[in-house]
Structure 1
Amino acid sequence: MKTLNRTLAIMLVSILTAWPTFAQSNKRFVTSQAEFDAALNASVAGDSIVWKSGIYSHVSMDIDKDGVIVTAEVSGEVSMTGASRVEIPADGVTLSGIQFLSGDIKTAHVIVIDGSDVLVTEINIKDYTSYKYLIIDELSQRVTVSHCNFENRLNLDDQNILSILVDATQPGYHTIQFCSFKNFAGSGGDMGIEPIRIGVSTQSKFISRSVVEYCYFTACDGDGEIISNKAAQNVFRYNTFENNTKAELVLRHGNQGMVYGNFFLHNMGGIRVREGQNHFIYNNYFEGNTRRSILLQNESSDPLDYIHIYFNTFVNSAQVELGNTGGSNAPKNVVLANNLFAQPTDKLFAVATGNETWIGNISDGTLGIDPVTGLSAMNPLLEENEFDFLQLGTISPAIDAGQAGFPTIPTFEGLDIDSELLLDMMKQPRPSAITQKDVGASEYSQDGVLRPHATAGNTGPSYLSDQRFYALSIEVIGSGTIQLDPPSGLYTEGTTVTVKAIPSEGATFTNWTGGISGSDNPQSLVIDQDTKITANFTEVPEVLDTQMRMGNHTISLYPNPTHDKLKLEINASSRTRIQIEVLGFTGQKSGLQWDKYLEPGQHIWELDISNLATGMYFVNLKQYDLHNHVMDSSRVKIIKK
């Protein structure tokens, strides 16, 4: 099948999955500022304003109509220069396919977003003189910046490149994904040329809940901070930080920062935690970092407390600095659990406070600190895979070596976070039992899969890459929603995508049709062409609370249907034993089984069925006498919503 224009593909997926749909729409082609203004004035939600291919100077686009799409005739063949800039005060706007090259707008910003539910995609901003390349206002919500490139701002003024401001009353829930940040020159240090900043110091206690994922950062040396986190509950996952010789990711202000699934490769540093509490750093891979891998600061303004570092892999890198630098504000309650530290360039650790909690860590190399319990010296027997990354070998002592006892990872409303460590950094399943999880960032695999999610080739606009991209579009029949992993609807050829169907209340997932088929949920497919799949849901009839008799006993199961808890109420007339087992609708065992020994009287138990998939099940009940002979049995149908 012919490859879709990438911008149109993204728009298609967005319309199918998130943005509103419109019954009719108009497409208006423009070649000048005057034509754009006239087209915008005539447009309504769902209409497209299409710039014809060409180079335009001094264009100011003030997109103030909700639901309007502004795009290029051919993605990447429209270039704006001079004093060109964009403001988006409206909601539901899409801006796509346009390059902003070699412009000069002095102290203005290239793109300013004040609206909500805005999609900015396939944009390239390069060689501009400006303050910020893109800024999202604090009153905006749910802005997505996807497959964009931000590169080489010409001036070195104290302004970051992509800035997200945070409101005091509501989270922003913004997403920056599949973007590339390249070639920001400078001296490093505190120069204010961070590629991404979320919040400002005065917003440090505000909740942002923004996500930066699947992005690629390289040669970002204008500031010591590649990402500057200055607000609460932000997530940084599945990114690649590579060859940033003067910089690192910094949790600067704000609490509960989540950093997981990232590759930190050949940078000055990996992660610097300057201020705040309850940060979680897990499932990351550090290699070749020259000055430090992690730095916990001794900072007086907002001292570090409850810092959690779990299941990371550190190889061929500089030390982890634990913060005891002589001040009176050394980090407190630092927990390092199930990390793998190997082959340091000098030593593994520096400036420990002596109050760290160590659980299940493996070290191989010069410690740099006094030996401690919970940090076991042994060769992890790592092997280099075909992509030149180190992972566990077949007989590594890190396999199934995880240890429990560390604080749990929180969840945030509206965000999907792997808070139960059910996946490794490559999104391979980890066993649910801690003692069966492997130490380090990745579970043992014979397939050699450890490699970055985000690369120079699969991030940024398609027109800057030689790779082929295909669209995955979803149709939903019935009542339910779809999760995609990776989350974009557009993928490079050969990408494995996991699709998960989530039924609405009162419905159940039936099957997939189209590009994939069957009832497995979730299901994976390899993208090699434009693909449309359909998720089919059926409504589940309401089932009343169930009451029955078994022998001389009265038994009730309720509520039915239920989401996660099923109550079993038994009025026993005599001493007996009851066995309860949950079976799939076709009779297969679910693994849920309980035995209850009863004295005469009323008994109520709460049975946890939250791990079951949505659907119909049978609950088998058996009554035994005191000699363990079956006296009676019954079967009841229940529905897990």
Structure 2
Amino acid sequence: MQLLKSKMLKWFWLLGFLTCSVAAKEYFVADQQAYQTVLPKLVAGDTVVLKNGVWRDFEILFEGQGTAFAPIKMQAETKGKVILSGQSNLKLAGKYLQVSGLVFKQGYTPTSAVIAFRRDKDNLAFHSRVTEVVIDNYNNPDKQESDHWVALYGQYNRFDHNHLVGKRNKGVTVAVRLNSADSQNNYHQIDHNYFGYRPVFGSNGGETLRIGTSHFSLTDSHTLVENNYFEQTNGEVEIISVKSGKNILRGNVFYEARGTLTLRHGNGNLVEDNIFIGNGVDHTGGIRVINKDQIIRNNYLEGLTGYRFGSGFTIMNGVPDSPINRYHQVENARVEHNSFINVQHLQLAAGSDAERRAVPINSQLTDNLVFNEAGVQPFTVFDDVSGIQITQNVANSAPVAAVAHGFEVRELAMQRLDNGLLYPLSEQIQSGVGRDLKVLKKSDVGVGWYPKTPAIIAFDSGKAIPVSATPEALMSAVVQAESGDTLLLEPGAYIVPKLITIDKTLTIKAKQAQQSILSFERSSLFEIRDGGNLKLDGLTLSGVHSPDAAGNTLLRSKKWGMVHNYRLQVLNCVIKQLNVNHSFDFFATGKGAFADEIILINNDFSDISGNILRLNSEIEDLGIYNAEYVTVQNNRFRNVAGAIAALYRGGTDESTFGPHFTFDNNQLKKVGFGKRNKQKASVFLHGVQVANITASRFEQSAPIVIEHTVGEPKSRIVGNEFITTDAPEITELRVSGPHTAVLEQNQIVQSSEESR
């Protein structure tokens, strides 16, 4: 009887399929009006084909009622040849809909999402699929204007084999929303997607994937995140933020990705068979555990450098009786058969403080493998971890005492197997991941017809272009150059009458060191705009012809509205006479601009009436800042009224990595005493997370001023000379007690013959 029923069901399914196939129609549409005409006619099995070309300002509503065996489809005439630009987006509403082959680029969504699995809050998508779609740098020009690239609502939807790269404005790349009963217990599937480069955002709001929100965090989502590739998804400390329960995250690869897979809220999630490859890149992290009943098993983590909340592995402390949006206590976590290979930091009971004092309980850490080639143990324990049962783990170096009882310390010879992962040579060691663990390839995700190009164009990677010694030749060469090119300037004087805008990766270099002399007649010489990165090498830069007005800058970013991060390098240059009026800065950031790096090496600065680096435009204390890495090395500074660097990161947010400040082997004389230097500092750092000030000489200069805020900042002032210069001033603004900076091997001399 059961066999007869099964056969009858198959016949009914086949009959339904054949009936719909006969009735199904294909509509070829060439413009928006034609699409609007076709939309009401669509029935199960129909297909809409969009003509190849650029569809500008096209807000697509794709609505209908398909069936499991006859979905309604919308697809490109040729995959990748239908471009949605301008202010375009896509909304799906109904059942069994399928979209494929589209590309969103050269624009941004006018609504809250590029792709939304709903028409409005009452009309959602169910059993629908978006596959082989590209979203490429489709960003709102206001970096702080938030949107999602993909918002999943409804239930049983699938987002697969898509290519998403270059999310630069605020907002989660892909968000699973649980803000209605019809979107909870959704069983969505997110698989085989390529999540490409997402630059450091410089504040909260840069997650790549979020499942739920804190408001619905005790609700189950049942979302499957499987076999996706996350490459350099660097937005903030949470790459994936899980804020709901009963999700599965399996078989994903995180490649050189800054941040972690974070079980931020929600209970009963499963994290297994994932691969984290850091290659020693700064702030690459692994998994962070919070809440109840989490299972973390058979994950492979290698070459991760992150620490604190961005560590290779973190179990956090919670807040007693935590409100729904804070940190729930870790309870009944099972962490088993994971491999931690050359992972610098494994942190237990992290975040312990007066508020977060609920230690992990009823949890297990078992059968894990910890191996570090340097033989340095990676554990840091911040509180009582007796609530974690630690057994049958293997390590090649003795862990800290609080966890040592649960580890067998052995000499480990390692070998890399065909899957590219490191395992103990001895197969008798069963700790760590299984030898059959499969590693997803980048070629297996996304689409085959759209390139996965490098995110960053290197300086000096293009052509070398000679430039004759006239301002016209220089300005023309900048316009005509391509990203990666180097302009080689002939010796001579270049008095530039116009602002030179930089919107590509460009090197401007003197053919003979310091013999190409650039001055300018506008308020600035160079302005970096979206897409711009600038390297200056061996030039002489002078403000002698600048207008007699306050607030000039030799270099600046766009004053407002940059969405692309930029890089600035100044090497082997002479910078002088920036003093025609007060507040003449060498470099000033615009509001909202963000530098991945600013590097000053082996330059000579003299007679500056403002700051060298003014990086303090974000003063609202919202956790936003202007530069990730600032490096000042082997420079000479004389007669500078402002600070060498004024670097500011305000607020209490803990989701970012920087700023990082390196100041090494510099020589300062008469720096920081200008009457408009409000901090009266030669170097002013507020909220900087990592600062290293070393081997430098401060003579007749204002002191270093450092203000610590949140995030356990690390400041080192080591091996410096302070000649007729006050000692560094360090203040803790958020915690009581003495400052946490390290001051060692510094010499403080009140006067010298040379100074008199």
**TM-score strictly above 0.5:** yes
The 8 Å contact of residues 285 and 305 in structure 2, kept in 1 or not, is answered as no
Cα root mean square deviation, aligned: 2.4
Cα 1:315/1:21, change in 2 over 3 Å: farther
- Which residue pairs with 1:136 in the alignment? 152
Alignment pair present for 1:73 and 2:82:
no
Q: Residue 260 of structure 2 contacts residue 288 of structure 2 at CA under 8 Å; is this kept in 1?
A: no
Q: Choose which of 226, 244, 250 in structure 1 pairs with 2:257.
A: 244
Report if aligned partners of 1:181, 1:216 keep a CA contact under 8 Å in 2.
yes
Alignment correspondent of 2:434: 442
Determine the C-alpha separation between the residues in 2 that align with 1:163 and 1:450.
28
Alignment partner, residue 293 of structure 1: 312
CA contact (8 A) 1:273 1:295 kept: yes
Hey, what's the Cα distance between the residues in 2 that align with 1:371 and 1:86? 52
User: Once superposed, which parts of structure 1, at least 4 consecutive aligned residues long, lie more than 6 Å away?
Assistant: none
Report whether the alignment pairs 1:110 with 2:114.
yes
Partner residue in 2 for 1:347:
377
Paired residue secondary structure (1:39)? helix
Query: 1:355-385 CA distances to partner (integer Å, 9 max, x unpaired)?
Result: 1212211111241334643311113432123
Which one of the candidate residues 92, 96, 99 is aligned to 1:95? Answer: 99
Instruction: Using the TM superposition, give the Cα deviation of residue 135 of structure 1 relative to its aligned residue in structure 2, in angstroms.
Output: 0.5
CA displacement at 1:106 relative to structure 2 = 4.3
Q: In structure 1, which of residues 262, 266, 273 is the aligned counterpart of residue 274 of structure 2?
A: 262
Letter in 2 for 1:317: V
* 1:363 partner letter: A
* Correspondent of 1:377 among 392, 409, 416: 409
Q: Give a deviation string over 1:554-603, Cα, whole Å, max 9, x none.
A: xxxxxxxxxxxxxxxxxxxxxxxxxxxxxxxxxxxxxxxxxxxxxxxxxx
Aligned partner of residue 41 in structure 1, secondary structure: helix
318 and 296 in structure 1: CA distance in 2 versus 1, 3 angstrom threshold: same
2: CA distance, partners of 1:216 / 1:98: 20
Matches within 5 A, 1:301-450: 301=322, 302-323=328-349, 326-327=352-353, 328-343=357-372, 346-351=376-381, 353-355=384-386, 356-370=388-402, 372-386=404-418, 388-393=420-425, 395-398=426-429, 438-443=430-435
Q: Residues 331 and 154 from structure 1, CA distance in 2 versus in 1: closer, same or farther, beyond 3 angstroms? A: same
Shift of 1:35: 1.0
Corresponding letter in the other structure for 1:118? S
Q: 1:253 to 1:360 in 2, by over 3 A?
A: same
Higher RCO (C-alpha 8 Å, min separation 6): 1
Query: How do 1:151-166 and structure 2 match up within 5 A?
Result: 151-155=165-169, 157=170, 159-166=171-178
Where structure 1 has 5 or more consecutive residues not aligned to the other structure, the ranges are 1-14, 399-437, 444-448, 467-641
Equivalent pair of 2:161/2:192 in contact (CA under 8 Å):
yes
Matched, 1:280 2:295: yes
* Correspondences of 1:515-534 after superposition (within 5 Å): none
- Contact between 1:231 and 1:254, CA under 8 Å: does it hold in 2? yes
TM-superposed CA distance for 1:334, in Å, is 2.5
Contact 1:340–1:440 (CA under 8 A) maintained in structure 2: yes
What secondary structure is seen at the aligned counterpart in 1 of 2:84?
strand
Task: Show the counterpart of 1:217.
Answer: 230
Structure 2 residue identity aligned to 1:349: F
Cα 1:294–1:306 change in 2 (3 A) is: same
Please give the alpha-carbon distance, in whole angstroms, between the structure 2 residues aligned to 1:369 and 1:201: 36
Contact 1:350 1:369 in 2 (8 A): no
User: Using the alignment, how far apart are the partners of 1:451 and 1:379 within structure 2?
Assistant: 26
Cα displacement (A) at 1:36: 0.9
**Does the residue aligned with 1:115 lie in a helix, a strand or coil?**
strand
Partner of 1:452: 439
Residues 20 and 223 of structure 1: is their aligned pair in 2 closer, same or farther, counting only changes over 3 Å?
farther
Contact 2:398 2:409 (8 Å CA) reproduced: no
| Distance in 2 of aligned mates of 1:47 and 1:216 | 33
Change (3 A) 1:251 1:326: closer
Alignment partners' CA distance in 2, 1:56 and 1:154: 23
- Aligned equivalents of 2:209, 2:300: Cα separation in 1: 21
Give the conservation status (yes or no) of the 8 Å contact 2:168–2:201: no
Q: CA deviation at 1:102?
A: 1.6
Deviations 1:430-452 (A, max 9, x none): xxxxxxxx321113xxxxx6552
Question: 1:306 is paired with a residue of what secondary structure?
Answer: coil
Q: Cα offset for 1:208?
A: 0.4
AA aligned to 1:40 is: L
1:22 shift after superposition = 2.8
1:56 deviates by 1.2
Percent identity of paired positions between Structure 1 and Structure 2 = 25
Q: What is the alpha-carbon distance in structure 2 between the residues aligned to residue 293 and residue 369 of structure 1? A: 20
Contact persistence 2:359–2:385 (CA under 8 A): no
Partner of 2:562: none
Residue 524 (structure 2) aligns with: none
Residue number in structure 2 paired with 1:50: 49
Code of the residue aligned with 2:54 in structure 1: it is I
272-281 or 163-172, larger mean C-alpha shift:
163-172
Once the two structures are TM-superposed, the CA of residue 21 in structure 1 deviates from its matched residue by 8.6
For structure 2, the residue ranges without an aligned partner over 5 or more in a row are: 1-12, 67-71, 118-123, 141-146, 323-327, 453-756
Rg: which structure is higher? 2
Task: Name the structure 1 match of 2:190.
Answer: 176
Within the alignment, does 1:29 sit opposite 2:41 as a pair? no
For the residues of structure 2 that align with 1:151 and 1:238, how far apart are their CA atoms? 20
Helix, strand or coil for the counterpart of 1:248?
strand
1:142-162 residue CA offsets vs partner (Å, 9 max, x unmatched): 00001001111242x2x2111
* Equivalent residue, structure 2, for 1:149: 163
Aligned length: 399
Does the Cα contact within 8 Å between 1:304 and 1:332 map onto a contact in 2?
yes
Where 2:167 maps in the other structure, the secondary structure is: coil
* Residue identity matched to 1:95: V
Taking a change above 3 Å as real, the CA distance of residues 22 and 462 of structure 1, as seen in their structure-2 partners, is farther
Give deviations 1:244-300, integer Å, cap 9, x for gaps: 13x111111000111000001106344443531010000000100002211111231
TM-score by length of 2: 0.50
Mapped contact 2:229–2:253 kept (Cα < 8 A): yes
Distance in 1 (alpha carbons) for counterparts of 2:209 and 2:188: 13
Shift of 1:326: 4.1
